[in-house]
């Protein structure tokens, strides 16, 4: 297997994150909502512009993008604190079980720690759990609740 490498999203890799986002949506509980290429592209362009402030980490196997994780810093309402959060996290099915997910979460946690937040948060809201919870626990995260959704 080709060595996996994690890099920050660039203008050149925007088509890769768009493709992966479409894959992620297709297997999630949000798939019925339809895929908006323009919205994903605008999200990716903003991430490139903001760089390390709202990073999108990409993992590649050779020249092929096989996963991504986007992150942000945000204030905690009614406090002086802020946290670091994972927003989107996806690894292509054929690379699950490889080090791809581990490398992305490791990069996210290192990035988050470098900003000295009060907490680091990651979640699973798509209904696709397959090992994500165990991976988060490996990095010291604890399960603190669950997501509920009313489909309208």
In this model, does residue 124 exceed pLDDT 90?
no
Q: How far is CA 10 from the centre of its chain?
A: 15
Percent of the chain whose pLDDT exceeds 70: 95
pLDDT of residue 126: 65
List pLDDT tens digits, range 127-148: 656 578 889 999 999 888 777 7
Closest C-alpha to 55, from 130, 107, 121, 125: 107
Contact 98, 4 (CB under 8 A): yes
Let me know: does 136 contact 104? Beta carbons within 8 Å.
no
Mean pLDDT, residues 51-67 taken together = 95
pLDDT at 98: 94
Q: How confident is the model at residue 99 (pLDDT cuts 50, 70, 90)?
A: very high
DSSP for 86-108?
EEEEEE-GGGTTSSHHHHHHHHH
């Amino acid at each position: 297997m080709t060595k996996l490498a994690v890099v920050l999203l660039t203008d050149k890799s925007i088509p890769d994150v768009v493709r992966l986002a479409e894959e992620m949506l297709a297997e999630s509980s949000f798939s019925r909502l339809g895929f908006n290429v323009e919205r994903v592209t605008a999200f990716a362009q903003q991430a490139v512009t903001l760089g390390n402030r709202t990073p999108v980490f990409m993992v590649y196997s050779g020249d092929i993008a096989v996963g991504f994780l986007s992150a942000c810093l945000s204030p905690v309402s009614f406090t002086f604190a802020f946290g670091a959060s994972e927003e989107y996290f996806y690894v292509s099915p054929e690379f699950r079980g490889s080090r791809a997910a581990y490398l992305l979460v490791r990069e996210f946690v290192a990035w988050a720690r470098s900003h000295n937040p009060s907490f680091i948060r990651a979640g699973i809201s798509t209904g696709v759990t397959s090992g994500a919870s165990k991976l988060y626990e490996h990095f010291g995260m604890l399960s603190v609740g669950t997501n509920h959704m009313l489909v309208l």
